[in-house]
Structure 1
Amino acid sequence: MEEELITSLSVSVDPSGRAPLTAEALLSTSRPVSVEVTVEGKGGAGTEIRHRFGTVERGHTLPILGLYPGEATAVTLELFGADGASLGTRDLSVVAPALPADFPEVTIDVAPSGTLQPGLTLVSYFGHAGSATPQRAFAFDVTGAIRWALDFSGDATLGGLFFDNGVERLANGNLYFGDGNTDRIYEVDMAGRVLRSWGMPGFTFHHNVLELPSGDFLVTVNRQGTTTVEDHVIQIDRAIGAVETVWDLRQSLDPTRRAWPTDLADLDVDWFHGNALAYDPTDDTILVSGRTQGLVKLTRANQVVWILAPHREWRSDLAAKLLQPLDAAGVPITDAAVLDGAVPHPEFEWSWYQHAPAILADGSVALFDNGDNRGYQFPGTYSRAVVYRIDAEARTIQQVWEYGRERGAETFSRIVSDVDEHPEAGTILFAPGAVASPVGPVGRIVEVDRATRAVRFEATVRAPQVPFGITFHRVERLPLYPDL
């Protein structure tokens, strides 16, 4: 490196006090440069973290992400001139603190094989070592090493954080989550700094917040002053913070339906239990998952488009919106016991007490079929990732893919859990978050080849303690440095 190019360089670890495996480098140079940061990987292929910052200037504030807890991590800064030519490197050794005892053990059960979705696995974690709040998030690499963590312990505002479904990434690269303690939506950077928050006057937060293509937020909420809970959805204008649309599920559905009983809630109060949202930009509709009712598609005017659920005990006007199942050849299934949900068809099965609906790249719908009370029999015996092809106009549904039935109890999670598609890698991430294993409650993360259903990667997360048997709610595969 040319002499006197770097005029000053300082590094601070965990600058916010909320993300212990991060650091920040303040760099000044005698002429404009761009910088690439490389954080060493100690586990071989797939564990090095590298990011090129595109700005060319004399002063840089560089986030360093992916440090190893409780030890030194080698970090290299490579500087480039305005013409893109390398001007040399500067090597650093950065020591991050050990993680608190609240964080889990991550075991790799199936080492990576074939193409995986790049990045680390972000876990919205319920585990702890004594206090269930604040809930924490962490990300681990393909060896199971935790390389990023978010912990608001002791924070004046978020010290009681309950993010429920958890943390996800905004289009701008920052993270966001809702908090059931403060009833606000928060945007934070990867260093854990709170950048902005949004309230929801007249409502309280639970479960899920979803960024829409417009940038606004879709949120599952409770409406204050009502006798029921978890049966409203709102849209928050992100620019001004106002509630601009309200969906009242009591008006669109039937709060008296009790076909899906549960020992986890009073159905006279929590009759729907809205646990997840998805948005369909093709027709400006929303999908709302109700754990004890099914999956419903609603217009912006709160009109039902279709209902994905067994056909038992629906009011006549809603029965007309139920999806008709088809077999693999596209022929309607007419067996009354299959329609009712009492028995499965060899080529079709309803989802039960589902979570995490998602609209896939080809327009089909994936979700986590928890399998609780499957066939109206407690307890369930298996959970699935399942993909359905739905024709909204014809109101038909065809099962096109599943995984999990063959795993039985080892991936059965009657509550929470996640499914994500990774079309570039040709995989689906199946993540049961509340598995009762022989060694105690665990969560499993299984990346499956969609074409062959072979497991390309699998990890088990085991926490010191868990509430309600839940290790995590959702997981995401993403790069620590966002690709913007």
Structure 2
Amino acid sequence: MKILKEYGVLLLWLFWGITACDNNDNTSLYPEYYDTIQELVQKGDLLKSVTQNDNCYIFTFESKIIEIPTDIIQNVHIDDVAWRTTITFVNGSTYIVPSIGDAIDDLIVKIVVNPSGYNPLAANLYCELPAQGRIKIIVHSKPDAKTPDVEFQSDDVQRSQVIQILGLYPNYENKVTLVYLDKTGKERAKTTIQIKTKALNVTYLPAAIRIIKRKINEMEPGMTLISSPGKEETDTSIPYMIDADGEIRWILDWNSHPELKYIGAQCGLKRMKNGNYIAGDCNHGLLVEVDALGNIVHKWDLKGMGYNFHHEAVETKNGKIQILVTKAKAMLADGSNSRIFDHTIELDPITGSITKEWDYAQILDSARINKVDMGEEWNNNMYLGANRSNWLHNNGIFVDDDEMVATGRWLGFFKYDYSGKLKYIMAPHNNWREQYKRYLLTPLDRNGQPITDIEVLNGEKVHEDFEWCWGPHCPIVLPNGHVMVFDNGYNRYYSARSEEYSRAVEYEIDEKNMTVRQVWQYGKERGRECYAMAVSSVQYLEQTGNRLFCPGIGNILSDGSMGARIIEINPKTQEIILEMELPGVANTIFHRANRIPLYPEG
């Protein structure tokens, strides 16, 4: 790749556009030509060609043709390499006009791989353009890959540009095409460059991700964001994205970051409307906004406000951030012990102030605790077992305008409004105090008739048409109003010896009649292959209508080892569109996995 020549001179004419290169007042000598050309240059037009007849030079710009008499022009010099044409008049005055060149190699100032130090699969491209326009990048897939090329078009029309290149392969000579477009999107020129990356130096990543099945033309576009905790929660969280071939194409390696070296992000990164990511840090009581390169854009000290982050943070439609937290001063009613995992707060990111707090002990029945004998290690652990302090274990939330749906590991899920008014409880009917029974949803069979078997209602056995969800994560309200969750199956039917399977399950809820009907599920038929007793996620895929089912821990893989799976399903046919196996290198492979565009849309 050529380096930009005559850099200082070029910057001068890029800055001024058309330049008069002597001490004469050229605008007064030839104002009718100078003003017209200056207007075109300021508009972002480039000179395409120069021809000559007996009477005049014909200057063809991208949007207009200008004719100048030959008797006032001494010389016209076209420099295709530098993208400029010099017009010398008979009086010695000179105009330098930006014009179409041969290639854009000389417009590239430099390329910096891993510019932040935290994303080794990204690069910054610095370029100086002769006129306003856009740069489109194409990161080409490997020759034998099924994943489409990564394409991104910058909205920036400035002459000096810094373009972020994402989606590079590790330890590879990446082929990247750069296309210079005018403001309307018409191609001016392009070139192809090579960007060499190093091998990833990150521990606790899956070895070889295995493709079990893939129908590339039926998959939801994008890449899958994996929110890995690293070795364990107290280790550095590792968010990374994989493509349809199981290749890692984006990663944040915070091991050298002064503030995020031991970030415990739990449910992981959520993309914000501005294209950045929001994440909590359970190890330090922080909330952070980071960019695609892993730099901190903003941070908020939750611990200093009296809270500690756990599990999840989501941006709301009005730009606030709802965060699942433990309140430091929250105590049991008798003051005997602290309460954990049972608050949500709303943060105004602009002011940094807490605008709302929801104490679930004021919404739900905190006295309802259904213990299961999981062994001494679990039963006596305040964080892992069901107990008075950890009576709810809120681990997921979906925010939709003024209403929220949240999960509780020990009950199921529930809905409430912004004021904190409870709407319904989707949980077995046993052991609720009287004032909460009117909020319990009644399950229906496939014919829409109420299920009356008391053992089914109390969660002691399964019905052929309906199952409660156990230890669920990742609640989602679908476009049709139904609710989908990842049903972990943890202590199903209140038995430590229950059949082990996890499901993606969809429920139709009638809030007027307070009923619930199970309308779709996937995973039960897979048994231990897809069983994840903790973490994990589901996702509704908007473009295809497919569902992503992602058990993130403890799956028995095809080779008999333990790991995790990413499964994309067509819910109409129950056909698997994509299945990947992520072999285990740590206890938890991921908390969440979500299909998103590599570059933020819009």
- Give the TM-score normalised by structure 2: 0.77
**Stretches of structure 1 lacking an aligned partner (at least 5 in a row):** none
Matched, 1:422 2:541: yes
Provide the rounded CA distance (Å) in 1 between the counterparts of 2:561 and 2:357. Answer: 41
Matched, 1:37 2:137: yes
Provide the rounded CA distance (Å) in 1 between the counterparts of 2:345 and 2:233. Answer: 31
Match of 1:244 among 355, 362, 371: 355
Aligned-partner residue type, residue 601 of structure 2: D
Question: Does the CA contact (< 8 Å) of 1:230 and 1:270 recur in 2?
Answer: yes
Q: Aligned with 1:56: secondary structure?
A: coil
Aligned-partner residue type, residue 389 of structure 2: V
Equivalence for 1:115: 218
Aligned-partner residue type, residue 421 of structure 1: Y
**Stretches of structure 2 lacking an aligned partner (at least 5 in a row):** 1-47, 49-79, 84-105, 331-337, 379-383
Equivalence for 1:267: 387
Match of 2:496 among 375, 378, 385: 378
User: Kindly, what percent of the aligned residue pairs are identical?
Assistant: 32
Provide the rounded CA distance (Å) in 1 between the counterparts of 2:584 and 2:437. Answer: 43
How far off its partner does 1:83 sit?
4.2
Aligned-partner residue type, residue 365 of structure 2: D
Provide the rounded CA distance (Å) in 2 between the counterparts of 1:423 and 1:101. Answer: 32
Kindly report which structure 2 residues correspond to 1:31-430, keeping only aligned pairs within 5 A, or say none: 31-42=131-142, 43-102=144-203, 103-105=205-207, 106-128=209-231, 133-200=235-302, 201-226=305-330, 227-261=338-372, 263=378, 264-265=384-385, 267-281=387-401, 284-379=402-497, 380-430=499-549
Question: Does the CA contact (< 8 Å) of 2:386 and 2:410 recur in 1?
Answer: no
Equivalence for 1:470: 588
Question: Does the CA contact (< 8 Å) of 1:35 and 1:79 recur in 2?
Answer: yes
Question: Does the CA contact (< 8 Å) of 1:47 and 1:141 recur in 2?
Answer: no
How far off its partner does 1:471 sit?
0.9
Match of 1:26 among 116, 126, 129: 126
Provide the rounded CA distance (Å) in 2 between the counterparts of 1:297 and 1:7. Answer: 56
CA offset digits 1:337-372 (Å, max 9, x no partner): 111111111111111111000001111000000111
Question: Does the CA contact (< 8 Å) of 1:419 and 1:428 recur in 2?
Answer: yes
Higher relative contact order (CA closer than 8 Å, sequence separation 6+): 1
Higher helix share: 2
How far off its partner does 1:12 sit?
0.4
How far off its partner does 1:114 sit?
4.5
Aligned-partner residue type, residue 27 of structure 1: C
How far off its partner does 1:39 sit?
0.5
How far off its partner does 1:437 sit?
2.1
Provide the rounded CA distance (Å) in 2 between the counterparts of 1:332 and 1:265. Answer: 33
How far off its partner does 1:450 sit?
1.0
Larger mean CA deviation between 370-379 and 118-127 belongs to 370-379
Provide the rounded CA distance (Å) in 1 between the counterparts of 2:506 and 2:513. Answer: 18
Aligned-partner residue type, residue 591 of structure 2: H
CA gap of 1:463–1:408, structure 2 versus 1, over 3 A, is closer
Provide the rounded CA distance (Å) in 2 between the counterparts of 1:29 and 1:422. Answer: 39
Matched, 1:448 2:569: yes
How far off its partner does 1:295 sit?
0.9
Provide the rounded CA distance (Å) in 2 between the counterparts of 1:235 and 1:141. Answer: 34
How far off its partner does 1:294 sit?
2.1
Provide the rounded CA distance (Å) in 1 between the counterparts of 2:494 and 2:600. Answer: 44
Aligned-partner residue type, residue 580 of structure 2: A
Question: Does the CA contact (< 8 Å) of 1:441 and 1:470 recur in 2?
Answer: no
Larger mean CA deviation between 45-54 and 64-73 belongs to 45-54
Provide the rounded CA distance (Å) in 2 between the counterparts of 1:89 and 1:483. Answer: 24
- Give the TM-score normalised by structure 1: 0.95
Larger mean CA deviation between 215-224 and 326-335 belongs to 326-335
Question: Does the CA contact (< 8 Å) of 2:311 and 2:395 recur in 1?
Answer: yes
CA offset digits 1:411-444 (Å, max 9, x no partner): 0001010000113212100000012426443110
Aligned-partner residue type, residue 453 of structure 1: Q
Q: Aligned with 1:286: secondary structure?
A: strand
Q: Aligned with 1:320: secondary structure?
A: helix
Aligned-partner residue type, residue 320 of structure 2: D
Provide the rounded CA distance (Å) in 1 between the counterparts of 2:315 and 2:178. Answer: 34
How far off its partner does 1:126 sit?
2.5
How far off its partner does 1:8 sit?
4.0
Provide the rounded CA distance (Å) in 2 between the counterparts of 1:47 and 1:108. Answer: 16
CA offset digits 1:292-343 (Å, max 9, x no partner): 1221112223222110111111111112110011112211111111111111
How far off its partner does 1:257 sit?
1.4
Question: Does the CA contact (< 8 Å) of 1:112 and 1:142 recur in 2?
Answer: no
Larger mean CA deviation between 41-50 and 337-346 belongs to 41-50
Provide the rounded CA distance (Å) in 2 between the counterparts of 1:172 and 1:30. Answer: 29
Question: Does the CA contact (< 8 Å) of 1:426 and 1:451 recur in 2?
Answer: no
CA gap of 1:395–1:266, structure 2 versus 1, over 3 A, is closer
Provide the rounded CA distance (Å) in 2 between the counterparts of 1:377 and 1:231. Answer: 24
Provide the rounded CA distance (Å) in 1 between the counterparts of 2:492 and 2:480. Answer: 28
Question: Does the CA contact (< 8 Å) of 2:146 and 2:216 recur in 1?
Answer: no
Provide the rounded CA distance (Å) in 2 between the counterparts of 1:113 and 1:138. Answer: 21
Provide the rounded CA distance (Å) in 1 between the counterparts of 2:390 and 2:562. Answer: 25
Provide the rounded CA distance (Å) in 2 between the counterparts of 1:28 and 1:374. Answer: 62
Aligned-partner residue type, residue 492 of structure 2: R
Structure ID, larger Rg: 2
Aligned-partner residue type, residue 404 of structure 1: G
Q: Aligned with 1:357: secondary structure?
A: strand
How far off its partner does 1:165 sit?
0.7
Deviating beyond 4 angstroms after TM superposition, the runs of 4 or more aligned structure 1 residues are none
Count residues in correspondence: 478
CA offset digits 1:439-477 (Å, max 9, x no partner): 44311000000101110001111242x2xx311010110
Q: Aligned with 1:57: secondary structure?
A: coil
Provide the rounded CA distance (Å) in 2 between the counterparts of 1:453 and 1:459. Answer: 17
Provide the rounded CA distance (Å) in 2 between the counterparts of 1:113 and 1:49. Answer: 15
Question: Does the CA contact (< 8 Å) of 1:387 and 1:402 recur in 2?
Answer: yes
